[in-house]
Structure 1
Amino acid sequence: MKMRFSLLFSFVIVVGLCSYKFSEAREPVCSKFAYEEQLLEKMIRTEIKVETMVNEIKKTEDKVISTLGDIKQTVADFTDMFADMKGNITNEMLNRGDEIKRREETFKTSFEETRKNLTSDIEAEKEKLFQLQGKLEQPPIAFYAHHLKDLLPDTTDKILIFEKTFTNEGTGYDTSTGIFTAPVGGLYQFDVHTCAYPKKHTYLGLVMEWKLIAADANYGDESYGCNTFGAIVRVKPGEKVWVKSTSSGSARQLY
């Protein structure tokens, strides 16, 4: 800035001198002091004009610098605002992404639980249907056996064998062993009807899987004494039921 001022000032002085030389012929001849006074006056006026021009240039430069500063600040503010917006948008996108992931995981978990529950319910219903189908397909189980092979239950735990059957639905009763084997599970009713020989005793019991579930004691007196005993029990598939003597002795005889 100082260099520009010096060049401008030198240019003004040269111009002033040249103008003075051109106008020198028209001015009256004065003393040496008058000439120097006039030259000094012109230089002062020129210097004032130059100083005024310099001030104007300085004002203009200050305005330009101020404007540039304002523009720079505006650009910086816009950059910061854009960065903030970008950061906010990025954070919002990340938050939305996390929320979507959380919802997706929640949906997957809920769907998996629902699927498992539904699968479990379906399997339970299928099992019920299979059981119902099995019950519908099960044949009726019933047997009516008669005619004892051995009328002398003189040994404890001796099995009574009825060697003939009127009915044996499901073929559960074995006439060779006297044992009934349940083809299917269910609630069964067993009834045993026997008669003792005159003046003879009988002590019998109904057994399921070696457990006594009903018992009977009978005496023939002067004629045939007859009794009926039995039980209603739940029997599992494959479990066995039979009739046996519960007491031994020579006075034991059936009719």
Structure 2
Amino acid sequence: MLETMVRMEARMTQWDKERKIFEENVLSILEHRREEMQETFSEQNEKLQRMFEDYKDIRGELTNRTNHLEDLAENLGDTPVVAFNAYTTTGDRSYSDNQMIILPYVLLNEGGGYNNNTGFFTAPVSGLYHFSAHICENDSKYMVVSIVHENKEIAITTEYESVGNSCSSVSAPAVMNANERVFIKSAYSESLLHGDPHYRWPSFSGYLVNKKSSE
């Protein structure tokens, strides 16, 4: 009987040891899983935080772009239509240096800025304008033209062919105050401007890009 009790006690002691080992293993596994879950949670939290920051940045950028588009739309809505296009079909006409070129035929004159008697375009409002001139030469002659803003040249081009005739164009922007003038002139002492009704129309044109917001 005593021997049986001793064996039982030894077995129970062994069971306690095995139980403790099992509990320690379970606790170790659970702790490891907890650390893994905590690490995963931290990573997900950081990812969500970055996504939130990106969202704030994108939202701010979209707000800025929306405001910019609204400003552009407001400015465009306040910009009147100012545009002109004048030309000539005269065969050959010689010009001296600094002689003004007047184009008599008007296809477009919104805003009434171009005067086909004087050749001047007078800005009806202050703002940014864009101008272009188209010229043609003939008979191996030079044709040199410049665009002039209030007596200051803002663009110049030369056209020449040794045989036959040809054309070229030049353009330039200009910031103008109301009532300032732009015109085109010959920039060479022996310029020859060529035109014909069917194939070559030397021209002078321009338009208002954007009105100054102060007006």
What's the TM-score, normalizing by structure 2?
A: 0.52
Distance 2:142 2:164 in 1: 12
Question: Partner of 2:104 in structure 1?
Answer: 163
Question: Partner of 1:252 in structure 2?
Answer: 192
Superposition map of 1:74-223 within 5 A: 136=77, 139-147=80-88, 151-223=92-164
Assess, with a 3 A threshold, how the Cα gap between structure 1 residues 137 and 253 changes in structure 2: closer, same or farther: closer
Assess, with a 3 A threshold, how the Cα gap between structure 1 residues 253 and 168 changes in structure 2: closer, same or farther: closer
The question of whether the paired residues in 2 share the 8 Å contact of 1:148 and 1:162 is answered with no
Distance 2:134 2:178 in 1: 25
Letter in 2 for 1:141: V
Which has the higher relative contact order, 1 or 2, with Cα contacts under 8 A spaced 6 or more apart? Answer: 2
Number of residues of Structure 1 aligned to a counterpart in Structure 2: 123
Q: CA deviation at 1:253?
A: 3.8
Q: Which has the larger radius of gyration?
A: 1
Assess, with a 3 A threshold, how the Cα gap between structure 1 residues 133 and 253 changes in structure 2: closer, same or farther: closer
Query: Percent identity over the alignment?
Result: 30
Q: CA deviation at 1:222?
A: 1.6
Assess, with a 3 A threshold, how the Cα gap between structure 1 residues 235 and 148 changes in structure 2: closer, same or farther: farther
Question: Partner of 1:240 in structure 2?
Answer: 181
Question: Partner of 1:30 in structure 2?
Answer: none
Distance 2:118 2:75 in 1: 29
Ranges in structure 1 where 5+ consecutive residues have no aligned partner? 1-131
Distance 1:168 1:148 in 2: 18
The question of whether the paired residues in 2 share the 8 Å contact of 1:199 and 1:222 is answered with yes
Larger relative helix fraction: 1
Q: CA deviation at 1:195?
A: 0.8
**Pairing 1:229–2:177 present:** no
Question: Partner of 2:13 in structure 1?
Answer: none
Distance 1:185 1:167 in 2: 20
Distance 2:128 2:113 in 1: 14
Question: Partner of 1:63 in structure 2?
Answer: none
Distance 1:195 1:253 in 2: 6
Q: CA deviation at 1:213?
A: 0.4
Distance 2:123 2:136 in 1: 26
Q: CA deviation at 1:203?
A: 1.2
Assess, with a 3 A threshold, how the Cα gap between structure 1 residues 223 and 162 changes in structure 2: closer, same or farther: same
The question of whether the paired residues in 2 share the 8 Å contact of 1:149 and 1:163 is answered with no
Distance 1:167 1:234 in 2: 21
Larger relative strand fraction: 2
